[in-house]
Chains A and B, each alone.
Chain A
């Protein structure tokens, strides 16, 4: 058998230790792949908002997996339940694994209680990308926003609610179903709207990218309840 004896065989895949996953990936290879991803999606949309949404969805798929993996690998199968905990988890642990460094800054929005911002002087995905003038405020950081985002569950839960109400009027059952759906889709359980923006910085040619996180009302209510 080819390759037999080279790799230690485990009877059960679950016995296999989880790899540390610290290998570095070629930046060029990533840049080309990401560029292809954007181009592919660009051929399938009519407007910029749609493109941004599709990139966000692609990022969301990455985010769901990253969350799963990191909770297992870095936190011993525990998940953050508090607002600040999950924010610093994203800001440091997730960022470090994805981009090899901690994000430049994590701030609380000054105007609204429920807004937080993660800023990056030079977001890795934007390193080689120049946005054409006619695309306005479009930001490829939407992909990263998608990774951070947990909003999807929100939309789908509403869809699910419509679906379930059409087949059943049993409220307790419905609530339970809703809860399950959201529990899976929201990943960490913090539904929020996440968007990427360019913010001009004085004395710099390039604007920095800010990932704006606006949490759903229920998250803040729960946070208040937890004290």
Chain B
């Protein structure tokens, strides 16, 4: 049983640069994941415009019957979002951790080209460790 179903990272123009899925639920084709990512990007942008509150930063959490979608947008416009079990806790914290890993192992890597798909061994490695840790703490509770 996995709390997190999948993780997406979307660049500032709406292109999917990283996708990983955990557990069997919600696994999708490459094309579907690309479509979903840009769809979310647009919805996020529209919600910012439509929101009645001033200075709204877009959707942070989308709650559905079968999943929750937590989104975190960095200052530069890169969006990180996880699809997880309904009611899963501490996802904001996890997204911050993932953002930190992104700044460390992706942005400081001289062989990474900005806005391009992420293919960094160290990022994958540290990410799976972070997710693992998150699961362990979940079971501990």
Contacts and interface: CB of A to CB of B under 8 A. Distances in A.
Interface of A: 28, 31-32, 34-39, 42, 128-132, 135, 140, 205-206
B119 A129 contact: no
A139 to B, nearest CB: 12
A31 B122 CA distance: 15
A10 B119 CA distance: 54
Nearest to A140: B110
A28 B122 contact: no
B40 interface: no
Majority secondary structure of chain A interface residues (helix, strand, loop or mixed): helix
Q: How large is the interface on B (under 10, 10 to 19, 20 to 34, 35 or more residues)?
A: 10 to 19
Contact of B108 (A28, A132, A205): A28
Given A129-B122, A130-B120, A205-B125, A32 B111 contact: no
25 contacts: A28-B108, A31-B104, A31-B108, A32-B108, A34-B110, A35-B110, A36-B110, A38-B111, A39-B110, A42-B110, A128-B104, A128-B105, A128-B109, A129-B108, A129-B109, A129-B110, A130-B105, A130-B120, A131-B111, A131-B121, A132-B111, A132-B119, A135-B111, A140-B110, A205-B125
Interface of B: 104-105, 108-111, 119-123, 125
A28 B107 CA distance: 10
A32 B104 CA distance: 10
Contacts of B120: 130
A34 B109 CA distance: 9
Contacts of B110: 34-39, 42, 129, 140
Contacts of A39: 110
B46 to A, nearest CB: 34
B73 to A, nearest CB: 21
Contacts of B111: 38, 129-132, 135
